[in-house]
């Protein structure tokens, strides 16, 4: 390269630094202070939010928004200090924001629905819910989706916008078993119900409050159906059903309570008569 060109570029650079050096240094200092201030404000905001009854996603979102606002303001202040015209920048950011918002309508809809779920709290983590034909225990409530866990450890992910405005069945943190057992018509019903209540009282998986419900449900062809409806924790729902059924069978055998099985009596009429002979 021509030495004269190099000298000219060097002179221009020196001149630019002398004229704009203080502005650039001030802009750099402002931006660094903004970074440090955003970190301090983020920690302080997170510590303050941890003392409030808010879900973790909300605390994280608010903290990040505060940090981004401080960083954005610091960047714009630094750009203005450096001598840049920030009006076109603000206008451009507004146009870009509108375009991004239109492109991400579904994502933003899930985000707003997630915030509404977190603030209104129609259900909490650990509760059992049913919605959109699926049900399960709430495993996580995130900003964009709700995660349900089934007893077989499979997971259902529901977009938050599918949750808002729909009919929701919230079982809470406990569920009621719907069991039944048949006894013979000759059984002493008081003895049967006492045996059922004794089994429920001994079961470690059955809640004592609310009190379990047991009573005569219906009359079948060969047995009287006894309804057994104890309450259990959501996590004990499956194991409790198996444990209570096993305990009922053992208790009935111990006390001599008959549990009949369906039977059919077949009668053959005119078994000894020869078949009729029709004449021509």
d(CA 224, CA 181): 8
pLDDT band of residue 104 (cuts 50, 70, 90) is: very low
pLDDT at position 215 is 92
User: Which long-range CB contacts under 8 A does 151-160 form with residues at least 24 apart?
Assistant: 151/237, 151/238, 158/131, 158/132, 158/134, 159/110, 159/113, 160/109, 160/110, 160/111, 160/113, 160/114, 160/117
Residue 51 has pLDDT above 50, yes or no: yes
Mean pLDDT, all residues of the chain: 79
Give the confidence band of 103 by pLDDT, cuts at 50, 70, 90: very low
Give the per-residue pLDDT at 216: 92
Q: Tell me the pTM.
A: 0.57
Under the banding of pLDDT at 50, 70 and 90, the label for residue 91 is low
Residue written as token pair 């419900």:
213
Which pLDDT value is given to residue 78? 75
Residue 74 pLDDT: 81
Give mean pLDDT, residues 155-173: 86
Is 90 exceeded by the pLDDT of residue 230?
yes
Domains, the chain, ranges and CATH?
3-103 (1.10.287.1260), 122-172 (2.30.30.60), 174-255 (3.30.70.100)
The per-residue pLDDT for 243 is: 93
Which residues 6+ apart lie within 8 Å of 177 measured at CB?
228, 229, 230, 231, 232, 237, 240, 241, 244
């Amino acid at each position: 390269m021509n030495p004269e060109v190099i000298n000219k570029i060097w002179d221009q650079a020196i001149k630019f630094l002398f004229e704009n050096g203080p502005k650039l240094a001030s802009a750099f200092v402002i931006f660094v202070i903004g970074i440090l201030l955003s970190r301090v404000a983020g920690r302080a905001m997170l510590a303050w939010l941890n003392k409030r009854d808010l879900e973790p996603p909300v605390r994280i979102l608010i903290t990040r928004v505060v940090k981004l606002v401080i960083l954005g303001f610091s960047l714009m202040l630094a750009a203005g200090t450096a001598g840049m015209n920030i009006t076109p920048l603000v206008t451009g950011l507004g146009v870009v924001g509108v375009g991004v918002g239109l492109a991400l309508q579904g994502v933003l809809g899930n985000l707003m629905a997630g915030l509404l779920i977190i603030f209104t709290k129609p259900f909490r983590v650990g509760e059992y819910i049913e919605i959109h034909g699926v049900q399960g225990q709430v495993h996580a409530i995130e900003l964009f989706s709700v995660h349900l866990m089934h007893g077989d450890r499979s997971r259902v992910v529901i977009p938050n916008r599918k949750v808002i405005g729909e009919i929701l069945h919230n079982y809470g943190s406990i569920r009621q078993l719907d069991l039944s057992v048949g006894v013979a018509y000759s059984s002493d019903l008081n003895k049967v119900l006492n045996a059922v209540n004794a089994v429920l009282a001994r079961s470690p998986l059955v809640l004592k409050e609310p009190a379990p419900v047991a009573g005569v449900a219906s009359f079948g062809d060969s047995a009287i159906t006894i309804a057994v409806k104890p309450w259990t924790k959501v996590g004990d729902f499956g194991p409790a059903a198996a444990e209570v059924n096993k305990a009922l069978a053992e208790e009935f055998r111990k006390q001599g309570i008959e549990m009949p099985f369906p039977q059919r009596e077949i009668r053959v009429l005119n078994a000894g008569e020869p078949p009729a002979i029709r004449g021509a």
